[in-house]
């Protein structure tokens, strides 16, 4: 099994510890590739729209983005982590997700994403962990991923791992251990089931792309949908 991890912070703090606890259960059977933000995607999207209108390889940050994309497309399991910063995912995570706007379903989603599974791990001191997870889930679901499990923790007292009570550490470890146990039992030779909501989004976009293609058959996104056979009878899920 291949796992690609996108860490929303470079800090080896609580988020890092929680991610390590989760991965430790899977290490013996998984090949793990990790990225740390902002190091592995250090620049903001500047809104040039070259990825949307023309070609993602012409993005000024294509070297970073295509490295991340390759690892994500090759993975059986995607893992995203982030502490809550002012009720949301870290700015570094948001900056990375912005770069993948061209992979949202109304544009040019990757067919591989429709059969993929993902885990999101977030934590916060008291509030904001769930909305941080939602920031990430919004992108993953619009990339076409249906199987997304989010685990969000509230530390409540301390934000330094060494100062967190043993009881709290045991609770978080047990939850992540159970989650990893369930992952271990998945047969990764079979793609995840594409859910109804994802299919409805796909069909709505297909209708939109069909209309856009009638107006302009050279439109970048339409040509991509046509080339994949999605305007015809082929679907990105099995």
Residue 174 CB, nearest approach to ligand FMN (Å): 19
Q: How many amino acids of this chain bind ligand FMN (CB under 6 A)? A: 18
Q: Which of 95, 155, 183, 205 binds ligand FMN (CB under 6 A)?
A: 155
Distances (CA, A) of 147 to 25, 38, 77, 92, 117: 20, 26, 10, 24, 5
Q: Which of 1, 2, 10, 13 binds ligand FMN (CB under 6 A)?
A: 13
- 11 part of the interface to ligand FMN, by CB under 6 A: yes
Cα gap 185→167, rounded to integer Å: 27
Cα gap 46→28, rounded to integer Å: 41
Taking CB positions, which residue lies at the least distance from ligand FMN?
13
DSSP for 136-197, please give it. Answer: HHHHHHHHT--EEEEEEEE--S-SSGGGS-HHHHHHHHHHHHHHHHHHHTS-TTSPPPPPHH
Residue 9 CB, nearest approach to ligand FMN (Å): 5
User: Contact region for ligand FMN (CB under 6 A) — 37-45, 82-90, 110-118, 179-187?
Assistant: 82-90
- 91 part of the interface to ligand FMN, by CB under 6 A: no
* Helices 129-143 & 91-99 angle (0-180, nearest 10): 10
- 86 part of the interface to ligand FMN, by CB under 6 A: yes
Residue 90 CB, nearest approach to ligand FMN (Å): 8
Q: How wide is the angle at C-alpha 114 spanned by C-alphas 2 and 205, nearest 5°?
A: 150
DSSP for 187-236, please give it. Answer: -TTSPPPPPHHHHHHHHHHHHHHHHHHHH-TT-HHHHHHHHTTTTTT--S
- 93 part of the interface to ligand FMN, by CB under 6 A: no
Each residue 168-207 as x (binds ligand FMN by CB under 6 A) or -, in order, gives ----------------------------------------
Each residue 126-145 as x (binds ligand FMN by CB under 6 A) or -, in order, gives xxx-----------------
User: Contact region for ligand FMN (CB under 6 A) — 68-76, 125-133, 201-209, 218-226?
Assistant: 125-133
* CB hemisphere CA count around 95 (13 angstroms): 19
- 92 part of the interface to ligand FMN, by CB under 6 A: no
* Interacting residue ranges for ligand FMN, rule: CB under 6 A: 9, 11, 13-15, 83-87, 123-128, 155, 159
């Amino acid at each position: 099994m291949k796992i690609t991890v996108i860490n929303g912070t470079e800090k080896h703090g609580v988020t890092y510890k929680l991610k390590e606890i989760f991965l430790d259960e899977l290490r013996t059977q998984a090949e793990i590739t990790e990225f740390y933000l902002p190091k592995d995607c250090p620049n903001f999207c500047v809104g040039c729209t070259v990825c949307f209108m023309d070609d993602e390889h012409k993005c000024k940050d294509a070297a970073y983005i295509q490295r991340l994309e390759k690892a994500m497309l090759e993975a059986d399991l995607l893992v995203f982590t982030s502490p809550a910063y002012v009720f949301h995912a870290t700015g570094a995570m948001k900056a990375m997700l912005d770069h993948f706007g061209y992979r949202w379903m109304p544009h040019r989603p990757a067919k591989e994403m429709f059969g993929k599974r993902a885990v999101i791990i977030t934590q916060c001191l008291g509030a904001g962990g769930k909305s941080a997870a939602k920031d990430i889930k919004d992108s993953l679901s619009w990339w076409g991923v249906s199987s997304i499990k989010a685990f969000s923790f509230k530390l409540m007292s301390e934000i330094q791992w060494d100062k967190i009570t043993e009881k709290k550490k045991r609770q978080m470890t047990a939850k992540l251990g159970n989650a990893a146990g369930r992952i271990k039992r998945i047969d990764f030779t079979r793609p995840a089931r594409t859910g109804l909501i994802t299919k409805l989004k796909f069909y709505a976009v297909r209708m939109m792309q069909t209309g856009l293609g009638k107006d302009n058959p050279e439109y970048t996104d339409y040509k991509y949908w046509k080339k994949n056979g999605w305007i015809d009878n082929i679907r990105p899920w099995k």
